[in-house]
Amino acid sequence: MERWTVEDVQAAAPDASSLAAARRLAQPGPWSQTGASDALLWGRCQGSGRTPYQVSVDLQARAYRCSCPSRKFPCKHALALLLLWSSGAVGDGADAAPFAQEWADERASRAAGRAERAARPEAPVDPEAAERRRAQRVATMSAGLDDLALWLADLVRAGLAAARRQPLSWWDATAARLVDAQVPGLAEEVRSVGGRVQHDDDWASVLLAALGRWWTVVQAWRRRDELDEAVLGDLRTLLGWAQPADEVRARDRLSDTWLVLGAFRTQDGRVQQQRTWLRGEASGEVVQVLDFAVGGDPLPVAQSVGALLRGDVARYPGASARRATFVTPPEVAGTAGRLPAGGDVAAAHATLARALAANPWTRRVPVVLAGARLDVVRTAADHGAVVVPGAGPGAGGAGHGAGGADVVVVDRDGRGVPVRGDVEPWGLVARSGGAPVDLFGELEDGTFRVLAASGLADAPGVVGA
């Protein structure tokens, strides 16, 4: 395969800090057992631990794997190996290292399995048995949500202040009952809100909003037979009642070339989740692809931000932006140079308002902010609170830095929204240098999670944040 150029490697980097770290590692010293074939690139990189990291790159699919703990894809080790290969420091034509070949075989096996399942005729389903299972689950969920309604009434009767005095075990016990009632999605919300009530300064507004949200869930479930398919789909998603992927693939399909806007990973105990936002080039529709992994199982390799994927997606019932899944593995069709057209902070909040009108349980919406600046402001820790025009309530989790500084996205009209701190913003702040850039991210709880940027002076293409 033709070797990548340095520009190709730069385009694959998730952010400037990863690329800078990769350049420091792109020297023979820490590397061993390097090699390349027509499709694979591999090597072992000695880090601070005793065991070298095992790095593998699928050069054709632009997929990456490294045994390091980084959540970035590709990580600095994969980028460094690519830089070494692009410079000719890694030879071609060798037999793949066992760890790289094993990874490649696993990927090929999974792809073959998906293709086989897609082509396999559906096994006959006993409709009576399926209906009995469904009725049993509905009864279990109904009992659990009735129990939740009593718990909510008791909580309100005792007062919000009493709820804050409760230990985390009190919240965990309620969540455990919801898990037993087969509504794991709502159980996770209860655990999360319990932690915020214990630790956040704005705990009262967080709890009040959550109580209203949970009460609407209870009432909607009791009237589920009256809901349309989209609302019922959103309710099922919130409760954690998954719809079989094969059932989804058999119905609402959309063929397009999909731009990878950005991705984000979370981990809750043993469960990892990766959500990837895609935008159809022809349809203009934005969908999210969710992947899960339990225990030590790996998540699928994240697609590079800016990649164009050609394929069919099947969409789950619900309001936009809808969850989707690829019917078959997509084909990489190139890369995009920029993010799609975006708006300002007011337009972003209007997008959230429309999403809430269609789905009252919406937590976040994907938006592009055009020509926005990343500003650093002082916080109450040093010089008193800073008021950010246009920022909504519940801005907990903003991107805090040393010395009591926050990062704020400010649009062309001076309206701003705090940047969430669960994605490191400081490298992008330094890289943009205060100049306007286009940003893609998630508007959530009055804050903005930056996932990608374009329009940077030193890299005109789309890059991960």
By DSSP bridging, strand 271-280 and strand 307-315 are: unpaired
Quote the pLDDT of residue 154: 96
Looking at residue 420, the DSSP 8-state letter turns out to be: B
Longest dimension (CA), the chain: 72
Helix or strand holding residue 40 (H, E): strand 40-45
Count of C-beta atoms within a 10 Å radius of residue 51: 9
Q: 426: number of CA atoms within 13 Å, CB side?
A: 6
Kindly give, in sequence order, each residue whose CB lies less than 8 Å from that of residue 168, ignoring residues fewer than 6 positions away. Answer: 194, 195, 198
Contact 97, 35 (CB under 8 A): yes
Which residue matches tokens 């969920």?
A: 141
Put residue 323 in one of left, alpha, beta given phi > 0 → left and psi -120 to 50 → alpha.
Answer: beta
User: Torsion angle, CA of 449/341/339/464, rounded to 10 degrees?
Assistant: -10
Nearest to 207 by CA among 175, 161, 239: 161
Nearest to 452 by CA among 437, 444, 441: 441
- Cα 118 to the chain's mean position, in Å? 26
Quote the pLDDT of residue 379: 54
Contact 137, 182 (CB under 8 A): yes
Which residue matches tokens 């070298």?
A: 52
pLDDT tens string for the chain (465 positions)?
Answer: 678 888 888 878 877 788 889 999 999 889 998 999 888 999 999 988 888 999 999 888 778 889 888 777 788 999 999 999 998 888 877 788 899 889 888 888 877 776 776 676 666 667 888 889 999 999 999 999 999 999 999 999 999 999 999 999 999 999 999 999 999 999 989 998 999 999 888 899 999 999 999 999 999 999 999 999 999 999 999 998 988 877 888 888 999 999 999 888 776 655 678 889 999 999 999 999 988 776 555 566 667 788 899 999 999 999 878 999 998 889 888 888 789 999 999 999 999 999 999 999 998 999 999 999 999 886 544 433 343 433 333 334 455 443 445 889 999 999 999 998 777 778 788 888 888 999 999 999 889 999 988 865 444 344 444
Copy the structure tokens of residue 292.
Answer: 């899960």
Nearest to 452 by CA among 303, 320, 344, 334: 303
Contact 448, 421 (CB under 8 A): no
Residue 460, SS3 per DSSP:
coil
One-letter amino acid for residue 366 of the chain: P
CATH number for 245-335: choose from 1.10.3470, 3.40.1000, 2.40.128, 2.40.50: 2.40.50
Which residue matches tokens 């989804």?
A: 248
Partner residues linked to 64 by β-bridges: 57
Contact 439, 453 (CB under 8 A): yes
By DSSP bridging, strand 322-326 and strand 286-294 are: parallel
Quote the pLDDT of residue 434: 84
- Gap between the Cα atoms of 225 and 297, Å rounded: 37
Contact 373, 432 (CB under 8 A): yes
Angle at the Cα of 46 from the Cα atoms of 44 and 50, rounded to 5 degrees: 115
Bond before 321 cis per omega within 30 degrees? yes
pTM of the model: 0.70
Residue 434, SS3 per DSSP:
coil
- Cα 75 to the chain's mean position, in Å? 17
Contact 461, 337 (CB under 8 A): yes
